[in-house]
Structure 1
Amino acid sequence: MITNSNTVREFERRAASYLNVEEAVAMSSCTLGLILTMKALGIEGEVIVPSFTFSATGHAVYWAGARPVFVDIDENTWNISVESIKDAISPDTGAILAVHIFGNPADVEALEKIARDINVPLIFDAAHAFGASVGAKRVGGFGTAEVFSLSPTKLLTGGEGGLVATNDASLAQRLRLLRNYGDSGNYDCFMPGLNARMNELSAAIAVEGLSLVDSEIAARESLAEIYRSKLGRIPGIHFQHVAKGNQHSFKDFTIAVEPGEFGLSRDELYELLLKENINTKKYFYPPLHWQTAYRDLPKRSTSLEKTEWLSTHVLTIPLYSRLKREGINRIADVITEIHENATGKERS
């Protein structure tokens, strides 16, 4: 068997143990995991989702047959804003889809309370967040379900793949059928599903990677501290806030650039770093509500001011353990020099 067999089941078992959840259901991608989770829960109507996220978050809502309602972010954590969610709730609200952006855990307690109050499922796009935690509890056990990505850029990878974590055994059972067209084995599909099966090779890669997640996060956190120490001295450089007691996964390290203080815009910094062979990403620009795919979506009165500011000022800079301290120091020094040249300041 080359798909959805013994190694997949072993990965699911080990992942559930690591995340301390009852069920972990392997998928061929995070996007399909999100789509099938929403379909399995029977979600209809509107799904509240942040606009500051990767496009797949919004696309999953669309392909699940619901309508995304984009809301703003918290200006400090860059995660979905609880107050913005409250403003967007309507009689048609069918679910809340939150994101642990860049691997920074969202305000799970407040989000779970809102979902309980309005009696809708709370799903987390946890694509960036494998290995993150809120206090002593791993990301994976919050809300109705949390969906991880195992694509090549993630801390835990299967080459490609996804994983749905949940404490709802009935949901997990439906998901295992839906990833196989909705077929239990007798060709009488209980509902229309898809081919979202994880292959055995991806599962084998992920099984081996599980033991490396915590050490990779520790290594990245150590390197991120160098960035914070060096770049924190530069006017106009702002960092994502991580709540006390939470563990960021450090899937990415992202800064926000205030041009008036830094001396250059985000886009100008991007181009100058590229000339130094330092590749960066404008994660996430444009935000979903500015993208062509969603431009004609009916707008709500909910303000997206913070999303629009951040998406035009944000820059993700390299962070992975193979860079080591020398690489991180070089990137920080180049950014410092760019700032000094732009403002006419000399390094002290």
Structure 2
Amino acid sequence: MLDEIWDSKMLTNNGPMHQKLEAEMEAYLQAPTAMLFNNGTIALLTALKMLDLEPGSEVITTPLTFAATAHAIVWNGLKPVFADVSPDTLTLDPASVAHAITSKTSAIIGVHVYGTICDVEGLQRVADEHGLPIIYDAAHAFGATLGGIPVAKFGRASVFSFHATKLFNTFEGGLIATPDAEDRERIYFLRNFGILNEEEVVEVGINGKVNELQAAIGLLNLPLVENERIQRRRLREIYCEALGDLPGVRLPVVQDNVENSEQYFPVVINPQRFGRTRDDVYNALKERQIFSRKYFHPICTDFEPYRHMSIISHRNRPFAEEVKSQVLCLPFHSGVDDTDLADISAVFHAK
């Protein structure tokens, strides 16, 4: 592929590799609009910009997410409002979103976490009741479906990350998918400085383009995705069998009619029932050179820019505040071998 890039004499600016990968993404995600970006954060910034929201208005999202979700709201001149998560899925809770809506609310950002899909029907009902658009941060949900429908078809837009840590990656990269083919032109201008031609700029745009090397990596990686997912499904079964009988260790939720992306394998450790904390397990694994992730911890409202903000919940205490110190993502990829699995099991079963 490098030879093809050198022969084309195009390293960026919508080159042949870019065009081919974008077409393959449109087919894979079954989305009328699927447009590549240089990273997921720029894609999320652009998706919000596409909505033309009132400056200073409020966008409701979850605190249990990567900081970029909240940052994209602020960089658009908007105010993030954090609503609680559902205890079963750890995704944005529709009832808490309803509590968080004010006259200043302009949009909702749901986040599909760990491969678990948001309650898209519940969130859509709340959004429709108040006339609000929904964007989904789908960084963890590449390839996921609900009732056979790809996640890219839900909401006003879905934003994917193709960072190197993701199931499908272009080293760095991202994508906006929407169910409306008419979005393509607007997103194109927003992604490319608003340039119409050599002499005209018609939109205040940003540089969100993917270069040809990134696109080539994506074209090489896409055929490998399904085999990796198969291996991760098998790993999921092994983890569930090894850890399923442990009191105080909650396995990932199994959602009806959902094909999981197989991005992460999170467990929730209740220290009172399990007898050890999440951090105890994390450190014991680390001593064996096994690196799990306290993901997400800290949550957004623990970070300096958002520390003054509360989490709005229909419960007496936000569940996000409780679960943030209990979630642990175990190693979840085809490189996990039998020795790793034995060590992980030993740590969890240690007295």
Normalised-by-shorter TM-score class: over 0.9
1:23 matched to which residue of 2? Answer: 33
Identify the residue that residue 226 of structure 2 maps to in structure 1.
Answer: 214
Give the aligned partner of residue 4 of structure 2: none
Give how far 1:325 is off: 4.6
Root-mean-square deviation (CA, aligned residues, Å) is 1.6
After superposition, what is the alpha-carbon deviation per residue over 1:6-41, rounded to whole angstroms, capped at 9, x for unaligned?
A: 211111111111111111100011111111111111
Say yes or no: does 1:2 pair with 2:21.
no
- In 1, Cα distance between equivalents of 2:197 and 2:314: 46
Checking the alignment, whether the CA contact within 8 Å between 2:301 and 2:308 is kept in structure 1 is no
After superposing the two structures, state which structure 1 stretch, 279-288 or 115-124, moved more.
115-124
Contact 2:84/2:312 (<8 A) preserved: no
1:335 Cα deviation (Å)?
1.9
Distance 2:74 2:203 in 1: 18
Deviation at 1:187, TM superposition (A): 4.6
In the TM superposition, residue 132 of structure 1 has moved relative to its aligned partner by: 1.0
Map 1:93-242 onto structure 2 (within 5 A): 93-242=105-254
Q: Structure 1 residues 265 and 144 mapped into 2: Cα distance closer, same or farther (>3 Å)? A: same
Secondary structure of the 1:165 match is strand
Q: After the TM superposition, which residues 49-64 of structure 1 pair with which residues of structure 2 at under 5 Å, given as runs?
A: 49-64=61-76
Cα distance change on mapping 1:232 and 1:161 into 2, 3 Å: same
TM-aligned CA deviation for residue 258 of structure 1 = 0.9
What is the match of residue 35 of structure 1? 45
How far apart are residue 87 of structure 1 and its match? 0.6
Distance 1:299 1:189, change over 3 A: farther
Matched residues in 1 for 2:73 and 2:213: separation?
29
What is aligned with 2:318? 305
CA contact (8 A) 2:33 2:184 kept: yes
State the TM-score, normalizing by the size of structure 2. 0.92
Structure 1 residues 334 and 199: alpha-carbon distance in aligned structure 2, compared to 1, 3 A threshold? same
Structure 2 counterpart of 1:74 = 86
TM-score (norm 1): 0.93
Percent of aligned pairs with the same residue?
Answer: 36
The one-letter code matched in structure 1 to 2:41 is T
1:2 and 1:178 mapped to 2: Cα distance?
Answer: 20
* 2:152/2:177 contact within 8 Å kept: yes
Partner Cα distance (1:187, 1:39) in 2 = 24
Q: Which amino acid letter does the alignment assign opposite residue 114 of structure 2? A: F
SS of the residue 1:163 aligns to: strand
Q: Contact 2:312 / 2:318 at 8 angstroms: preserved in 1?
A: no
Whether the 8 Å CA contact 1:223–1:325 is kept in 2: the answer is no
Of 212-221 and 21-30, deviating more is 212-221
State the alpha-carbon separation in 1 of the partners of residues 61 and 252 from structure 2: 19
What residue ranges of structure 2 are gaps of 5+ in the alignment?
1-9
Distance, in Å, in 2 between the alignment partners of 1:47 and 1:17 is 31
Three-state SS of the structure 2 residue aligned to 1:13 is helix
Aligned to 1:346: none
State the distance in 1 between where 2:88 and 2:62 align: 15
For residues 276 and 102 of structure 1, what CA distance do their matches in structure 2 show? 24
Q: d(CA) in 1 for partners of 2:122 and 2:97?
A: 11
1:223/1:324 contact within 8 Å kept? no
Instruction: Identify if the C-alpha distance between structure 1 residues 301 and 128 changes in structure 2 by more than 3 Å, giving closer, same or farther.
Output: closer
Letter of the 2:130 counterpart: I
